[in-house]
């Protein structure tokens, strides 16, 4: 059941980050300073977490080692 939830959360976040509505429907409007980008940041964190659930650590690519662990 956890894998289904992780997969569904990852797919929904990926779709949200691709912005298929062209910015017409957003959780927090990007016009609001600082808070406008928080919804995309949370979607990225959920996406990274769901991909990590399946054994792929995308955050390692942002480490000083460059993904070589």
Sequence-separated (6 or more) residues with CB below 8 Å from residue 14: 47
Angle CA 45–50–53, to nearest 5 = 125
Q: What are the pLDDT digits (tens) for 43-59?
A: 999 999 999 999 988 87
- Write down the pLDDT at residue 58: 81
pTM of structure: 0.76
User: What average pLDDT does the structure give for the chain?
Assistant: 84
pLDDT at 17 over 60: yes
Structure tokens, 66: 């460059």
pLDDT at 1 over 80: yes
CA distances from 46 to 7, 49, 68 (A): 11, 5, 23
pLDDT at 32 over 70: yes
- The SS3 assignment for 57 reads coil
């Amino acid at each position: 059941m956890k894998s289904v939830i992780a997969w569904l959360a990852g797919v929904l976040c990926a779709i949200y980050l691709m912005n298929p509505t062209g910015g017409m429907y957003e959780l927090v409007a990007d016009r609001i300073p600082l808070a406008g980008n928080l919804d995309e940041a949370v979607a990225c964190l959920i996406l990274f977490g769901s991909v990590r659930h399946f054994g792929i650590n995308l955050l390692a690519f942002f480490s000083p080692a460059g993904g070589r662990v």
